[in-house]
Amino acid sequence: MKIRIGIFGYGNLGRAAAFAVRAQEDMMLAGVFSRRDPEMIPDKVPDVPFFPATMLFGENTPTKMDVLLLCGGSAQDLPAQTPVLARRFCVIDSFDTHAAALAHFLRVEAAARAGDRLAFVSVGWDPGLFSLFRALSQAVLPSGESYTFWGYGVSQGHSEAIRHLSGVKAARAYTIPCESMLAQVSAGERPAPARMLHHRLCFVVAEDGANQAEIVREIQAIPHYFKDDETEVRFVTPETFLREHSALPHAGHVIRNGVCAQEAASAQMRFDLALASNPAFTGSILVAYARALFRLYQRGERGCRTVLDVPPALLLPMSADDARKKFL
């Protein structure tokens, strides 16, 4: 029997997740839920039913789902949606506001247990795969220092936070790592963690008549996104935005420099990503973890989990013995 996957949200991430589900032999896409009129959505995945999002909150859901992927944004959507839907469905989200991740987890944990469901939160590449590597590298090298660099690339969460501001028609926020610090750490040095490991470069299309100076002030004041980083804002025309900022690449590095206990032998562990499409990669992560969620729920687990709690073998579309044979 195939795992029946539902998707809530059909923006960049929702579309990417839909394609990722269709590529899995052990899954089927049971339906997509959107706040937009299903008849008006372009580029729909063929042969898949689309439903109004309101149907997720009614008494009878129009399709059977084993796991529901929540593909909204972290600034406003997921904090409200995940705890509510975790009472009704086994859900998985990619909530990525680091400073609020634990509070989000605790809210969803309570909701999922109240509904006798299992939920995964903060499943992406950071938080997500990078979190897993930070934990692994610190466990192996307890004497050391870890560094996380994001970029160069488009941050979907930061871009979404700008789009919610009054007077903003479109926005792209690029995260750019400090090259000198990245070079030092890559060479094995252990500099004191700097406050400014990154800066943000934002391209904004403003509404006609909008106060651009006020938009800049509001962007630079957004907590958890721009307030603590050096942030530059540039205004562009819709034509320039479409021509130069339509792609969604990203990259990142987690590096731990440390020493082993014996003879203080130096060691470096690192995990690098170079992504042509940030949402395509994040969608693939969500789908892999949906498989693990389904298996753990079938085993009777309830509540909330993160990537730190999930055995990697459960992500694979094969038996445990086949995984041992292939990867050990």
What is the rounded average pLDDT of the residues 234-243? 97
| 274 and 139 both lie in a single domain | yes
The domain that holds 35 is classified in CATH as 3.40.50.720
Q: What is the DSSP letter of 226?
A: T
Q: How many domains is the chain built from?
A: 2
What token pair was written down for 42? Answer: 């372009």
Question: 114 and 140: one domain?
Answer: no
Number of H helices and E strands in the chain, helices first, is: 10, 14
Decide if pLDDT at 194 tops 80: no
Residues 32 and 104 reside in one and the same domain: yes
Q: Are residues 241 and 292 in the same domain?
A: no
Q: Is the domain of 61 the same as that of 148?
A: no
pTM of the full structure: 0.93
pLDDT over 80 at 193, yes or no: no
Give yes or no: residues 76 and 137 share one domain: no
- Are 134 and 233 in the same domain? yes
- What DSSP string describes 4-31? EEEEE--SHHHHHHHHHHHT-TTEEEEE
Same domain (yes/no): 62, 172: no
* Residue span of the structural domain in which 11 resides: 3-124+279-327
- Say yes or no: 154 and 68 in one domain: no
pLDDT digits (tens, 9 = 90+) for 42-79: 888 888 999 999 999 988 888 999 999 999 999 899 99
Q: Which segments of the chain does DSSP mark as H helices, in order?
A: 12-22, 77-85, 101-114, 129-140, 156-163, 179-186, 212-220, 238-244, 278-298, 320-327
Instruction: Please check whether residues 198 and 115 belong to one and the same domain.
Output: no
pLDDT category at 195 given cuts 50, 70, 90 is low
